[in-house]
């Protein structure tokens, strides 16, 4: 299986709109140690300002070097402060768009300082909530123009868009893989790609495996993967594989067929569970799914080519239950 990484903040405190703190807050360095101790972890993703800043970059890079781990991505924080409540690059306010682009530039520079090759951009607040609130034509143009400019200024850096159908906004401007690929096409930039968060794909009603293939067919645009699980009605961020077991088998089959060579990154929000144990369980699920697919790739490929639901069902039953 590809290299495994973890979003550092997943090891910390958790909260929601009903409870302001389910766990005790712990220092960034302590989260780092907890994540580094999880079996199989080779890298970590850092949220800019939360986990790392321009001021702490040197210290954090030394921590990575000393531990032998890699910085898998930097995630810019354009969502946690009220300033961004009406969007970032898509905002109708020119001052907000300028500050958003400047913030993204700083995050890109932070990537370079951290010897990180990927900026993972989740445009969380870029969307709308009510009818007649979305400025669709202008917002799309603003966002595309900003992304094109950023990509041209940092041509050696991969900039990956993480889509999500909703939350925190009722509707996001980048809800699915298709919209992200259209944006890539509109910008004309070769270094803009897409992050599939499996939970976001399930929430959007997508087949994550099909999304992988679509990104491959549109110029090899799949840059990054986040793994978790949910019941398709909300971004529950549960243990990966605990709900969509068969979907994950198909996903790993197509990741192999499309020669995905990026990170397998765990993105969970264990509200009440022990974070390290929950993430470790996700990793074991993904390793098991990947190994099962790789060991039986020939038979699975034949099933895909034959397109017989009954025969495919029989194959999956035998692979999973051995009967």
Distance of alpha carbon 59 from alpha carbon 63, whole angstroms: 6
Q: Which pLDDT does position 281 carry in this prediction?
A: 98
Distance of alpha carbon 56 from alpha carbon 79, whole angstroms: 21
Give me the DSSP letters along 63-114.
HHHHHT-EEEEEE---SSSGGGTT-STT-S-HHHHHHHHHHHHHHHHHHHHT
Classify residue 91 as left (phi > 0), alpha (psi -120 to 50) or beta: beta
- Tens digit of pLDDT per residue, the chain (323 long)? 889 999 999 999 999 999 999 999 999 999 999 999 999 999 999 999 999 999 999 999 999 999 999 999 999 999 999 999 999 999 999 999 999 999 999 999 999 999 999 999 999 999 999 999 999 999 999 999 999 999 999 999 999 999 999 999 999 999 999 999 999 999 999 999 999 999 999 999 999 999 999 999 999 999 999 999 999 999 999 999 999 999 999 999 999 999 999 999 999 999 999 999 999 999 999 999 999 999 999 999 999 999 999 999 999 999 999 99
Could you tell me whether strands 70-75 and 192-197 are parallel, antiparallel, or unpaired per DSSP bridges?
Answer: unpaired
Distance of alpha carbon 116 from alpha carbon 48, whole angstroms: 13
Q: Which pLDDT does position 243 carry in this prediction?
A: 98
Distance of alpha carbon 74 from alpha carbon 186, whole angstroms: 24
Phi, psi of 43 (to 5 degrees): -155, 170
Find tokens 């495919």 and name the residue: 312
Q: Which pLDDT does position 280 carry in this prediction?
A: 97
CA 95 to chain centre: 28
Phi, psi of 116 (to 5 degrees): -105, 135
Q: Which pLDDT does position 18 carry in this prediction?
A: 96
Q: Which pLDDT does position 318 carry in this prediction?
A: 97
Q: Are 203 and 164 in contact (CB under 8 A)?
A: yes
Tell which residue, 52, 42, 44, has the closest CA to residue 76: 52
pTM over 0.75: yes
Residue 319 neighbours by CB under 8 Å, 6+ apart = 249, 292, 296
Q: Are 130 and 176 in contact (CB under 8 A)?
A: no
Q: How many CA atoms lie within 13 A of 93 on its CB side?
A: 11
List the domains of the chain with CATH numbers: 4-295 (3.20.20.150)
Q: Are 101 and 150 in contact (CB under 8 A)?
A: yes
185's tokens: 């096409």
DSSP 200: H
Could you tell me whether strands 41-47 and 118-121 are parallel, antiparallel, or unpaired per DSSP bridges?
Answer: unpaired
- Greatest Cα pair distance, the chain, in angstroms, is 63
Q: Which pLDDT does position 2 carry in this prediction?
A: 86
């Amino acid at each position: 299986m590809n290299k495994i990484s973890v979003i550092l903040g997943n090891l910390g405190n958790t909260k929601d709109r009903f409870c302001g703190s389910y766990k005790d807050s712990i220092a960034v360095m302590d989260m780092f140690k907890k994540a580094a101790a999880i079996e199989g972890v080779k890298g970590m993703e850092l949220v800019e300002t939360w986990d790392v800043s321009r001021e702490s970059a040197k210290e954090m890079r030394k921590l990575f070097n000393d531990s032998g781990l890699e910085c898998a991505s930097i995630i810019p924080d354009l969502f946690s402060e009220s300033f961004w409540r009406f969007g970032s690059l898509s905002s109708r306010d020119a001052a907000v768009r300028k500050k958003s682009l400047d913030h993204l530039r700083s995050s890109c520079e932070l990537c370079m300082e951290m010897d990180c090759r990927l900026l993972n951009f989740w445009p969380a607040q870029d969307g709308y909530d009510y009818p007649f609130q979305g400025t669709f034509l202008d917002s799309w143009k603003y966002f595309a123009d900003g992304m094109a400019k950023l990509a041209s200024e940092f041509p050696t850096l991969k900039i990956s868009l993480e889509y999500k159908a909703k939350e925190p906004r009722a509707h996001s401007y980048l809800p699915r893989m298709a919209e992200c690929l259209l944006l890539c096409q509109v910008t004309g930039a070769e270094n803009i790609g897409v992050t599939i968060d499996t939970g976001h794909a399930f929430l959007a009603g997508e087949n994550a495996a099909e999304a992988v293939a679509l990104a491959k067919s549109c110029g090899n645009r799949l840059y990054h993967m986040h793994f978790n699980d949910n019941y398709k009605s909300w971004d529950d961020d549960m243990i990966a594989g605990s709900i969509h077991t068969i979907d994950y088998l198909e996903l790993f089959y197509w990741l192999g067929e499309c020669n995905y060579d990026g990170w397998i990154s765990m993105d969970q929000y264990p509200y009440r569970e022990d974070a390290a144990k929950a993430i470790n369980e996700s990793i074991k699920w993904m390793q098991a799914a990947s190994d099962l697919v790789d060991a039986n790739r020939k038979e699975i490929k034949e099933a895909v080519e034959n397109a017989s639901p009954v025969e495919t069902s029989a194959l999956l039953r035998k692979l999973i239950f051995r009967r």
